[in-house]
Structure 1
Amino acid sequence: MQLVIKNLNKTYANGVQALTNVSLTINKGMFGLLGPNGAGKSSLMRTISTLQEADSGSITFQSSEGEINVLEQKDKVRSILGYLPQEFGVYPKVSAEVLLDHLAVLKGITNKAERKEIVTALLNKTNLYDKRKKNLGGFSGGMKQRFGIAQALLANPELIIVDEPTAGLDPAERNRFHNLLSELGENTIVILSTHIVDDVKELCTDMAIINKGEVLLQVHPLKAIESLENKVWRKRIERSEVESYNKRMNVISDRMSAGKPVIHVFSEAQPEEGFEIVEADLEDVYFNTVTSHQLPFTNK
């Protein structure tokens, strides 16, 4: 099971180039696609899920039934695809059970007894069975996302795409959603598109960073973190000093702590007195890649 994307390009009618020579190889498991808002993540997800055309390039999926040309064999792709878009609309006055049953019919599950069994199993899997009679308009954000996963799992997909699934969820719902996604990644390809670094750190065994429509990096998260070892330095500074440090050093991030900025700097040696070395994390990898394009490790 493998998804291979080669030299994919997409420019919209308004002249915005959303994807530029995107190439990725994605194997079974959880794959994180990390990038800021507007980086091209959703454009790539919509292209893979056959919702928009590419200008050039290729996407092939090695499924249990053989190789599928994603850009040309759209019906075949849809039959093995589960998709949870960034904005997932529901009918507010319809219950979870009724809507999931309706969506199962649209997926081609016409046998009533089989459909009931599948709907019940998915509502249990997503921890929504006790709320199955409740109208979706009364669901919390996390419950709606779990319903979104339930509909994405209809017809046993081999490829699952989830676009910004945890944005806006409270910590408890986010943890529930993480557990569900992690379980799904054991037997399928799950592409998690997000700007939340912690989602990738906690869930994914492989990842790519994308910005301005270009893939900057594809690497194992732990390998990327290890490559920054002894190269990330921290210092608490005054707000008035931020601009000066940005001009003089490779500042990869700054955040407020106890009312003052704390900067992280990428450097082979101590940048100057007052800096302390810190243990690098995936956020450092992300900001270092996106802001400076300095890649101290080898891409896949």
Structure 2
Amino acid sequence: MELQIQNISKTYAGGTRALNNVSLTIQPGMFGLLGPNGAGKSTLMRTIATLQEADSGTIRLGGIDVLGQKHETRKVLGYLPQEFGVYPHVSAEELLDHFAMLKGITNRSQRRDLVRRLLQQTNLYDHRKKKLGGFSGGMRQRFGIATVLLGDPKLIIVDEPTAGLDPEERTRFHNLLSEIGEQVVVILSTHIVDDVSDLCRDMAIINKGEVIFADQPFHAILMLQGKIWKDIIKKHELADYQAAYHVISSRLFAGETQVTVYSETQPGPTFHAAEPTLEDVYFWAINQSKEEV
């Protein structure tokens, strides 16, 4: 069951163009949607999740018209927004049981087995009696995934799920997403490039409401093979380098400034060739889109 997004546009009151003719075809598995803050990622996710209307365009999930059949879509949708509320004085087991009841699972034995299985799957079973107000950020996110999985969804959307997580919790969450993303469409909306590099077989980059790049991460990295060069410079030299070369990013490295340049050939004698990463692809695509404006 693939997700087909065709020519979706959205303009907010005041004239802000959040989405401009966005089209994507997303197959089952993990799909990464990358973009800076304000790029339109959350607007697209909320539109797919039937939480807001598009001005134009269509979205289909298999045989379901997502925008026209919202009730049918919600039956097979799991959505984990960036921020979601929980009842802090209720245990994980109690709240998940309550959500299962709301999903229509009225048989107590069936509901108990489902809650147990989901808490085990999200590595929260040992904490099932703990009040949710005492959960860490990563535990809250895993509990959010447990609630998403209650309805056996065919489409799962997670918006910035690892922002603020420590490395250990981030790894746990990655493993969980990877496990559930084998049979269903899972869209991971994030500005964290490593999340997409680690998890996703397909990806797209969105900026200023438009899809500026779409490919498999592996193919995208190969595309830049032999074209990424780095140099260590003084901070005051950065503007001159930006004027002279196609600088796609700069960062501090050991207290000095490291520039990354895109070039078909060695741009200067002090530059050394570097293996491209998905982060390089991301900055290259963002810079390309700026130059085309």
The answer as to 2:185 corresponding to 1:192 is: no
In structure 2, C-alpha distance between the alignment counterparts of 1:284 and 1:54, rounded to whole Å: 32
AA matched with 2:210: E
AA matched with 1:147: F
Deviations 1:227-279 (A, max 9, x none): 10100000000000111111221111111011111000000011112001110
In the other structure, the counterpart of 1:107 is 103
The answer as to 2:21 corresponding to 1:25 is: no
In the other structure, the counterpart of 1:298 is none
**TM-score, structure 2 length as denominator?**
0.98
In the other structure, the counterpart of 1:293 is 289
The answer as to 2:14 corresponding to 1:14 is: yes
**1:294 CA displacement:** 8.8
In the other structure, the counterpart of 2:227 is 231
The answer as to 2:242 corresponding to 1:246 is: yes
CA RMSD of aligned residues (A): 1.1
Instruction: Tell me if structure 2 keeps the 8 A contact 1:29–1:189.
Output: yes
Instruction: Tell me if structure 2 keeps the 8 A contact 1:34–1:194.
Output: yes
The answer as to 2:81 corresponding to 1:85 is: yes
The answer as to 2:34 corresponding to 1:75 is: no
The answer as to 2:257 corresponding to 1:261 is: yes
Q: 2:136 aligns with which of 134, 140, 150?
A: 140
In structure 1, C-alpha distance between the alignment counterparts of 2:105 and 2:245, rounded to whole Å: 59
In structure 1, C-alpha distance between the alignment counterparts of 2:264 and 2:126, rounded to whole Å: 55
AA matched with 1:131: H
Instruction: Tell me if structure 2 keeps the 8 A contact 1:68–1:76.
Output: yes
In the other structure, the counterpart of 1:53 is 53
**1:14 CA displacement:** 2.5
Instruction: Tell me if structure 2 keeps the 8 A contact 1:163–1:193.
Output: yes
Which region of structure 1 is more displaced relative to structure 2, 99-108 or 249-258? 99-108
Q: 2:279 aligns with which of 267, 283, 291?
A: 283
In structure 2, C-alpha distance between the alignment counterparts of 1:111 and 1:76, rounded to whole Å: 23
The number of equivalent residue pairs is: 291
**1:91 CA displacement:** 0.9
Instruction: Tell me if structure 2 keeps the 8 A contact 1:4–1:25.
Output: yes
Spell out structure 1 runs of 4+ moving beyond 6 A. Answer: none
AA matched with 1:184: I
Gaps of 5+ in 1: 296-300
- Aligned residue for 1:127, secondary structure, equals coil
**TM-score, structure 1 length as denominator?**
0.95
CA change 1:294–1:269 in 2 (3 A) is farther
In structure 1, C-alpha distance between the alignment counterparts of 2:3 and 2:192, rounded to whole Å: 23
The answer as to 2:180 corresponding to 1:181 is: no
In structure 2, C-alpha distance between the alignment counterparts of 1:105 and 1:16, rounded to whole Å: 40
Instruction: Tell me if structure 2 keeps the 8 A contact 1:252–1:292.
Output: no
AA matched with 1:274: T
AA matched with 1:17: R
In the other structure, the counterpart of 2:212 is 216
In the other structure, the counterpart of 1:123 is 119
Percent identity between matched residues is 63
CA change 1:294–1:42 in 2 (3 A) is closer
Deviations 1:175-196 (A, max 9, x none): 0000000011111111000000
In structure 1, C-alpha distance between the alignment counterparts of 2:40 and 2:50, rounded to whole Å: 16
Gaps of 5+ in 2: none
In the other structure, the counterpart of 1:96 is 92
**Equivalence map 1:149-164=2 (5 Å):** 149-164=145-160
In structure 2, C-alpha distance between the alignment counterparts of 1:240 and 1:53, rounded to whole Å: 48
In structure 2, C-alpha distance between the alignment counterparts of 1:10 and 1:247, rounded to whole Å: 36
